[in-house]
Amino acid sequence: MPAVASDKGDALDPAVLKGWMTIVTDGDGREHIVLSDGWRHIRLDVDAGSLATGEPVVLRYHLEGLASAEEMVLSLRRFLHLCRHGTFARTLFAPDRQIPRWITLLRVHDAERAGASQREIAAALYGPVVERAWRDSFDSWRSRVRRLVREARAMAAGGYRSLMRGRRPPPGMDGNRLT
């Protein structure tokens, strides 16, 4: 589903992007557009004209400088892929390396709320190898699970808010484990 309007040559038909588009107008009347699928986003700043009218528009791209051009070109590549293919290109967006950790913390929190012991949590996360190690009193497994439980509790107690704001984890958390 290409976003380029074929009858207008090189014009962009904003209606094709409607499902991803949020438009905000600032105090000076300039539009700021975010195209997002919930995981990835592309920001556009409109210097002149409007995408809110719904009429096809011809876009001009402003790239300036050497140091900042690379990030701008990446944003343009992301936008062009969305226009050509109607999807966000996963390969053009770096995966967030913290997501597996956050999923683990959610699992730990859910298990603890359901009444699972730390030993049961360890077995669910790491498999049968933990059963033997737990019996043999390998404290590293127990310490690991205790840290996960503390971090899951901290996140559930409000630490998740900082992640949603794009900030660092709450005090006492270094992003990988509770310190």
Q: What is the pLDDT of residues 18-37, one digit of tens each?
A: 889 999 998 888 899 999 98
Q: Which long-range contacts (CB under 8 A, 24 or more apart) does 31-34 make?
A: none
Q: Give bridge partners of residue 25 from the DSSP assignment.
A: 31
Report the length, in residues, of the chain: 179
Percentages helix, strand, coil for the chain, rounded to the nearest 5?
A: 45, 10, 40
Q: Give bridge partners of residue 36 from the DSSP assignment.
A: 41
- In terms of phi and psi (left: phi > 0; alpha: psi -120 to 50; beta: otherwise), the region of 26 is beta
In b/e form, how buried is each residue of 149-161, taking b as 16+ CB within 10 angstroms? bebbebbbeebbe
Specify the range with the lowest mean pLDDT, choosing from 18-22, 38-42, 94-98, 166-170. Answer: 166-170
Q: 51-65, 103-117, 126-140 — which one is most confidently predicted on average?
A: 103-117
* pLDDT for residue 142: 84
Residue scoring higher pLDDT (33 or 97): 33
Tokens of 61: 């791209």
Would strands 31-36 and 41-46 be described as parallel, antiparallel, or unpaired? antiparallel
Tokens of 99: 């997501």
DSSP state of 158: I
Where helices occur in the chain by DSSP H, the ranges are 69-85, 99-113, 118-126, 129-135, 139-154, 160-164
* pLDDT for residue 45: 87
User: Where in the chain are the domains?
Assistant: 6-92, 99-164
pLDDT in tens, 119-177: 899 889 988 778 777 776 667 888 888 999 999 998 888 877 776 665 555 544 544 44
* pTM over cut 0.95: no
